[in-house]
Every structure is written in structure tokens, then in C-alpha cells.
């Protein structure tokens, strides 16, 4: 019987050419597919909830694959985990509904961007692989005021990466929260989906406001322009991490768990 297996994965993206498998390049998807194939012993295709770029990290990337292998999920997780490289960790493996698709079934996801905001280098705290160093003092209150303009459903063309062409550029941002944790400024962005480089462009624009170059209300004008050239620079990849992806609860259970028991 074929089973649908959901994986929850963490990885340090520094030494990967992103999530998506590419010939001749080291990618997260490629590493996991190679290991999973050796464990289940049949061809498979692992589908992720979304593509992370080279250098971007994940604490809660989600993927799924179909298998006829009968290894219990706990043992399956341990077998795959034991063979993965040290910069990838398989946090969970669960059998889910046959209709579950890591990308199409997602209802929301959250990205965190970490900014090392100090004149001291992030290597002092060994965070240089996971933060962007901004030595200009950032005003978090100004950034948070500006971030309110991101909330809602709208055309995010001004925040899309160069060459990003989709059927619709409309996306829905559920929240955008900024807070300081000692020398680190963290930007948490949750939404139902994102355009290519959208979060990194949002952060780059907020940094310009936080350092005092622009007023918070300018963000409203930037978004209305639908012009990427009006926004701030793209924040570097190393500060970004996919924290979690959420799904409808009914899709996170196998068929047997969703089948009602009819009393006789």
C-alpha cells in the first residue's frame, strides 16, 4: 500500500545551492532524495513547501514523498537522519493524507530575518552564517510603524525579485513583526504565500527606514507604485530562515484516522 510521508526539515543553507535539486550542484532536496532512496529502496520524488535560495536556512521546511516501503515512520525518520550530512536535520516524519502536497496544501508560512545590529562583527557571537551585519543603528519603532503597511492582501510587485512574473502578483501578508533581542533585530513575516525574494526585499526596505533614510509612511507610496526600483535593496540571503509551514489539520492525518467508525 502506498503511503504519503510528510517530512519536517531543518538545515543550514550556507553551503547549499538552495533547496531545489540541480544537476552537479549540492542542494537540500538532492541530499534528502539521495538518502531517502537508499532507505526505501525505490525511486521517489521529494516535493518541498517552497524553494529557498542559496544561503537561506530553514528550521521548519516541509516536504513529502510517496512510498510503498513499510518501515514505521519513527524508524524511517531515524534511518534517514542517520545518513544525512551534518548541516541537515530531519525533525519529523509522519504519514499523512494521500491528498497532502507540501506546496499546494500550505495555508501559511513564517520567515524570520535576523539582523546583527552592532558595530561589532557577528563573528563575536558566532552568528555570521545566520545573520546580516548592519552596523548602522536601527530604530525598531520606525520599522514597526512602517511594517503595518505590509499587512493585508495587495499587489506586491514593488517587493518582487527582478524577473519575477506570476499569473498574479497579489499576495496576503498576515503579520510583520519587528523586535530587538540584544544586538539582534528580528523581522518575522507570516503570509499565505510569497513572491520570489519578497521577504528579503521587504526587509531591505525596512532597513532603509530603520536607519533613518526614509520616513515610515514612504512605504505606502512604494507599495502603491508597483515599481521594484522604488524599494530598498534585497537583504542578503544568510539572514533568512523558513520557520514553519501550516496546513489544514485534516490533511495531517492518514486516511485511516479520518475514517469515521459507524456503530453497528
Cell, residue 251 = 490533511
47 contacts: CB under 8 Å, gap ≥ 6: 63, 64, 65, 101, 102, 103
122 conformational bin, left if phi > 0, alpha if psi -120 to 50, beta if neither: alpha
Catalytically annotated residues: 53
Nearest Cα neighbor of 10 from 83, 86, 68 is 86
Give first-to-last CA distance, the chain, whole Å. 27
Cell, residue 264 = 453497528
Nearest Cα neighbor of 186 from 164, 203, 171, 198 is 203
Amino acid at each position: 500500500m502506498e503511503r504519503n510521508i510528510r517530512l519536517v526539515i531543518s538545515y543550514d543553507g550556507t553551503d547549499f545551492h538552495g533547496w531545489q535539486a540541480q544537476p552537479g550542484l549540492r542542494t537540500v532536496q538532492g541530499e534528502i532524495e539521495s538518502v531517502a532512496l537508499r532507505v526505501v529502496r525505490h525511486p521517489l520524488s521529494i516535493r518541498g513547501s517552497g524553494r529557498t535560495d542559496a544561503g537561506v536556512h530553514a528550521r521548519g521546511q516541509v516536504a513529502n514523498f510517496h512510498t510503498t516501503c513499510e518501515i514505521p515512520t519513527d524508524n524511517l525518520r531515524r534511518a534517514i537522519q542517520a545518513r544525512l550530512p551534518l548541516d541537515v536535520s530531519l525533525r519529523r516524519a509522519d504519514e499523512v493524507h494521500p491528498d497532502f502536497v507540501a506546496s499546494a496544501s500550505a495555508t501559511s508560512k513564517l520567515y524570520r530575518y535576523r539582523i546583527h545590529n552592532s558595530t561589532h562583527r557577528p563573528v563575536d557571537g558566532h552568528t555570521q552564517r545566520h545573520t546580516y551585519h548592519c552596523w548602522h543603528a536601527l530604530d525598531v519603532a520606525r520599522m514597526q510603524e512602517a511594517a503595518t503597511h505590509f499587512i493585508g492582501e495587495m499587489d506586491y510587485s514593488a517587493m518582487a525579485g527582478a524577473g519575477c512574473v506570476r499569473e498574479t502578483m497579489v499576495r496576503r501578508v498576515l503579520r510583520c513583526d519587528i523586535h530587538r533581542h540584544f544586538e539582534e533585530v528580528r523581522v518575522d513575516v507570516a503570509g499565505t504565500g510569497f513572491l520570489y525574494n519578497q521577504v528579503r526585499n521587504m526587509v531591505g526596505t525596512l532597513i532603509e527606514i530603520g536607519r533613518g533614510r526614509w520616513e515610515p509612511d514612504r512605504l505606502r507610496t512604494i507599495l502603491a507604485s508597483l515599481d521594484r526600483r522604488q524599494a530598498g535593496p534585497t537583504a542578503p540571503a544568510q539572514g533568512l530562515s523558513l520557520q514553519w509551514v501550516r496546513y489544514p489539520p485534516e490533511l495531517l492525518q492518514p486516511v485511516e484516522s479520518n475514517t469515521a467508525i459507524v456503530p453497528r
